[in-house]
Amino acid sequence: MLVRYIATRLVIGVAQLVGLVIAVFFLIRLLPADPVSRLVGLNPSAEAYAQAERQLGLDRPILTQLLHYLGLAPEEGPGLLQGSLGISWVTGSPIVEEIGRHLPVTIELITLSFLIAFVLAVPIGMLGALKPGGKADRGVFIYSLFAGSQPEFWWGLLFVYLFFFTLGVAPPPLGSLSPLTSPPPEITGMITVDALLAGRPDTFIEALHHLMLPVATLVFILSGPIIKMVRQNMVRALRSDFVLYAHCAGLPRWQIARYALRAAMAPSITLIGILYGFMLGGAVLVESVFSLSGIGQYSVRAVLSFDYPAIQGVVLIITGISLLIYLALDLIHAVIDPRVAY
Amino acid sequence: MPRLVPGLVPALAASALALTVALPAAAQSLLFLAEDVPAGLNYDGPAAAIPTSQTGMVNLMEPLFGYASAGENEDGIIVPNFDEFEGRLVESWDYDPDTLTWTLNLRQGVMGCNGAELTADDVVYTFARAKSVSGAAPIGWFLSNVASIDGFTPDVFGDEAARELGDEVVALDDYTVQIRQSEPNALFLPVMTIFGLHIFDAEEMNANATDDDPWAHDYTNNVNVPSFGPYCLESWTKNEEIVFTANPDYYLGAPAIDRVVMRRVPQSSNRVVVLQTGQAQLAQGLTPREYDSLRDAAGVAVGGVTGNENLFVHMNFDVPPFDNPLVRQAVAHAMPYDQIIANGYFGQAERWPGVVPSGYPGYHVSDSQYDQDPDRAAELLAEAGYPNGEGLDGYGDAFALTYVAEKESTLGPIVNAIQTALREVGFPVTLNPIPQTQYGDRQLVQRDLPFAVNDQEKPIGVDAGYAIQLFFVSPEAGGLNNMVNYRNENVDATWGQARVEPNTETRNALVAEIQDQLMADVAWLPVVEYRTQWAFADDLNGMRWHPDNSVRFYDLSFE
């Protein structure tokens, strides 16, 4: 049954992606700007404009462009069906390669941030829930509200000023590694992982050092809503009938806490999953502050330069990953919650 | 005095000298923080219009000609002498006005990064590639067309046969090239200095060509650009970092700085703090406020030049009420010039009394000038039929002052000052920040921006006539970027004369006449020329300004 459920979800996901690709294809062409004007730059003569338009393929009927993009007109060149997301109109590089270079940077950043945020948020949220209305709970509540409402770029800049410029304990915000360090051979695109795979512990430590401030910034911001969610669900769980029954049955406190936490985790994990999908593109400000060339930076550049293939590629990939995350969430729910079965 | 073993002193001296000679100079490296790194290295490719891509090209490639130095300015920045050309890859040259032919004698022994020697074939290849118009943005063809090189006409876009290079550019022998023009045109030498006609290493380019891409656009867009420049490419990660290493065989001598790392740091405030800690030695693309804040910082120097960057107000002749010259003059008299210089540029700008960069040959200051005079502005407005601005509300969004949203930190204080000053006179000005690409589309293609602030037009051809053709000649007469839809038959006709006038004095007089007309018509409202600035370590020497505003690492050295 489970395999059938996963297969059904994947088929629905592919259908959703196709619908989204077509919608995005037309929507970005409604934007009030023309990518050709950026391209011609120094030479805005009518002939050069027409030449640039031909080069981008924008002189062809829009349906022809769509068929080419989808890969249904292979005589025009490879498209989605052939595994090509097109060529960037800014750099001339294949979009697949560019996304393949930028996406791991973001995945590394936000995965590490979510792991730490989760590890911190669960005990803190539980602490607040143990005695609702107490001092600890009020402190946790205030922190979660405060952190969840802060602009990450401002805290990023503040951390740079404080920890790099003033205290000198953090590296400069110049990306994943020092300019003097040669990166490890690219295998996954995640510097920490590649450094370990290449057997370069010094590079691994340096990469972690460079991730310190961006991860701290994201943990500070992300932990707010997660703590809030854990606390609320924990409070609700601790007041539920099954916990009351467990108390009456004389179960030890640690075992009751474990049951309550399990019940509280399902909505918290849903929130983390949603936030993770959001942060794939939403970490852009932190990436910008710390000069990390992640997918957020890439997508902003694509939008600002009206690089249609890059915009379409980013939307497609991020949506695809989000759909997979939602599928994984549903499966995790089934593991956590015995009432859920597929 | 102790006695020394006879012969020891000379031996020690000789050893010391030998040691001095044998030891190479200490390796120097530079960390350069910029808003981006090259997105491409192909000047006929999609990234050619991006300034940081041009920085990559000019450090890896080499031109035929350059400008001689005019010495240092008050900031210690070396500035070019636009009246004196010097041969770069060309050792000597000759021009025959009867046949309109340039004979270029190339330097011998010029070696590229891949070990190939420069020959006439490299020059012929470069022009053949330009004429093929096979790239996304045919800059090489455009510049050749601007220089009136025979055969580089718009026909190439319609007729495939016209894209073949004929006898207009020929190699006479291994080190001699002849280039023929179709008409007299003073822009030939200025154009040859521009990055869009820097010379390729033909051998290496051909080695990286494919059947689908015979002119190696993919290679130059994504991998490298083989040429004869002072630096070679060590590594390049787009959106992140590019590393240059010195070309030890560079014909002008190996660069003083052996290795340059150009790192992308999107936040200008981070460029400032890293520079201040001494971990980087050069930064560009800061806001005027940030440059100002670094002026007194320890270990950091700020230098600049009044080059070709400026700010002007754009009023569209096709959009009422800007079709009324009295309205344009009223706006000009209401403009808070001094406030913009003081608060927008922290004193690093000057009033711009003309419509072409003041350092360009042929620049002329017209008698028609418009100082800030709110009373006069009010009078002109009343004379135009709008006393105290009454009736201007009926023009809808015409007074929405448009500017590039990405430049908010620089332009924000300026547009606010303009809005306040113009509102006091009666203009119902509102602010309209829009994205760069949308601005470019409306400026270049739609040409429908009614009222805008523009600080990004830098005519790359160093000549007043080039700037005039670019911005003010009507499209029908060959104008290229006439964003305000200015049309004046006299200007078109006079430029038609000036363009082919071989006598410099006569040409300058014609170009001055045009500038008088443009200022009288308020074709643009020139506001300020602001300084192109860099912040750098105070032991970094040799900073030099080039008209494309890209730093040449070859110019630099540490004390």
pLDDT, tens digit (0-9, with 9 covering 90-100), for B279-301: 999 999 999 999 999 999 999 99
pLDDT at B8 over 70: no
User: Angle CA(B199)–CA(B202)–CA(B207) in degrees, nearest 5?
Assistant: 140
Q: Let me know: does B542 contact B556? Beta carbons within 8 Å.
A: yes
Stretch B25-48: mean pLDDT, rounded?
A: 89
pLDDT of residue B13: 41
Q: B255 or A5: which carries more pLDDT confidence?
A: B255
pLDDT, tens digit (0-9, with 9 covering 90-100), for A251-310: 998 888 888 888 888 888 888 888 898 888 888 999 999 999 999 999 988 888 888 999
pLDDT at B90 over 90: yes
**Angstroms from A111 CA to nearest CA on chain B:** 21
- Helix-then-strand count for chain A, H and E: 14, 0
Confirm or reject contact between A52 and chain B (CB < 8 A).
Answer: yes
Which residues 139-158 of chain A have a CB within 8 Å of chain B? 157
Which residues 241-280 of chain B have a CB within 8 Å of chain A? 241, 261, 263-267, 269-270, 273-274, 276-277, 279-280
pLDDT, tens digit (0-9, with 9 covering 90-100), for A222-250: 999 899 888 988 888 888 898 899 989 99
Coil, helix or strand at residue B260: strand
Mutation pick from A28, A45, A103, A158 vs chain B, by most beta carbons of B within 10 Å, is: A45
Q: Let me know: does B346 contact B288? Beta carbons within 8 Å.
A: yes
**Angstroms from B330 CA to nearest CA on chain A:** 31
Confirm or reject contact between A32 and chain B (CB < 8 A).
Answer: yes
Stretch B403-428: mean pLDDT, rounded?
A: 94
- Band the pLDDT of B26: cuts 50, 70, 90: low
pLDDT, tens digit (0-9, with 9 covering 90-100), for A132-145: 888 888 888 888 88
Confirm or reject contact between B481 and chain A (CB < 8 A).
Answer: yes
Q: Which residues in chain A have Cβ-Cβ distances shorter than 8 Å to B50?
A: 41, 90
pLDDT at B19 over 70: no
Q: State chain B's mean pLDDT as an integer.
A: 92
Q: A266 or A205: which carries more pLDDT confidence?
A: A205
Q: Let me know: does A312 contact A122? Beta carbons within 8 Å.
A: no
User: Angle CA(B383)–CA(B387)–CA(B389) in degrees, nearest 5?
Assistant: 115
Q: What's the rounded Cα separation, in Å, for the pair A208 and A219?
A: 15
pLDDT of residue A180: 79
Stretch B23-30: mean pLDDT, rounded?
A: 70
Query: Is the sign of the CA dihedral A307, A311, A312, A314 positive or negative?
Result: positive
Q: Let me know: does B480 contact A44? Beta carbons within 8 Å.
A: yes
Stretch A7-13: mean pLDDT, rounded?
A: 88
Lowest average pLDDT, out of B76-85, B157-166, B249-258, B436-445, goes to: B436-445
pLDDT of residue B261: 96
Q: Which residues in chain B have Cβ-Cβ distances shorter than 8 Å to A44?
A: 444, 480-481
CA distances (Å), origin B206, targets A95, B118, B130, B202, B203: 26, 14, 15, 6, 5
Structure tokens at A171: 């590296």
pLDDT of residue A93: 87
SS3 of B178-217: the string is EEEECCCCCCHHHHHCCHHHCECCHHHHHHCCCCCCCCCH
pLDDT, tens digit (0-9, with 9 covering 90-100), for B510-558: 999 999 999 999 999 999 999 999 999 999 999 999 999 999 999 999 9
Lowest average pLDDT, out of A101-110, A304-313, B84-93, goes to: A304-313
pLDDT of residue B25: 53
Stretch A63-67: mean pLDDT, rounded?
A: 91
**Angstroms from B287 CA to nearest CA on chain A:** 16
Q: What's the rounded Cα separation, in Å, for the pair B558 and B34?
A: 20
Beta bridge partners of B104: B93, B177
Confirm or reject contact between A173 and chain B (CB < 8 A).
Answer: yes
Mutation pick from A37, A38, A42 vs chain B, by most beta carbons of B within 10 Å, is: A42
pLDDT of residue B24: 46
DSSP B428-486: --EEEEE-HHHHHIIIIII----EEEE-----SS-SHHHHHHHHTS-GGGT-S--TT--
Q: Let me know: does A334 contact A115? Beta carbons within 8 Å.
A: no
Q: What's the rounded Cα separation, in Å, for the pair A329 and A316?
A: 20
pLDDT of residue B21: 41
Single-letter code of the amino acid located at A22: I
Place of tokens 């059947």: B211
pLDDT of residue A44: 64
pLDDT of residue B107: 97
Q: State chain A's mean pLDDT as an integer.
A: 88
pLDDT, tens digit (0-9, with 9 covering 90-100), for B455-510: 988 888 899 999 999 899 998 887 878 999 999 999 999 999 998 998 999 999 99
- Helix-then-strand count for chain B, H and E: 17, 21
pLDDT of residue A40: 73
Q: What's the rounded Cα separation, in Å, for the pair B275 and B536?
A: 7
User: How far apart, in Å, do the first and last CA atoms of chain B sit?
Assistant: 38
DSSP A83-147: T---B-TTT-SBHHHHHHHHHHHHHHHHHHHHHHHHHHHHHHHHHHHHSTTSHHHHHHHHHHHHH
pLDDT, tens digit (0-9, with 9 covering 90-100), for B392-402: 999 988 999 99
Q: What contacts B491, CB < 8 A, 6 or more positions away?
A: B468, B472, B473, B474, B514, B517, B518
What is the percent of chain B where pLDDT is above 70?
95
pLDDT, tens digit (0-9, with 9 covering 90-100), for A149-188: 888 889 999 999 999 989 999 999 999 998 878 889 989 9
Structure tokens at B298: 């320890």
pLDDT of residue B11: 41
Place of tokens 């090259």: B38
pLDDT at B17 over 60: no
Cβ <8 Å between B222 and A43: no
Nearest CB among B46, B222, B270 relative to A291 is that of B270
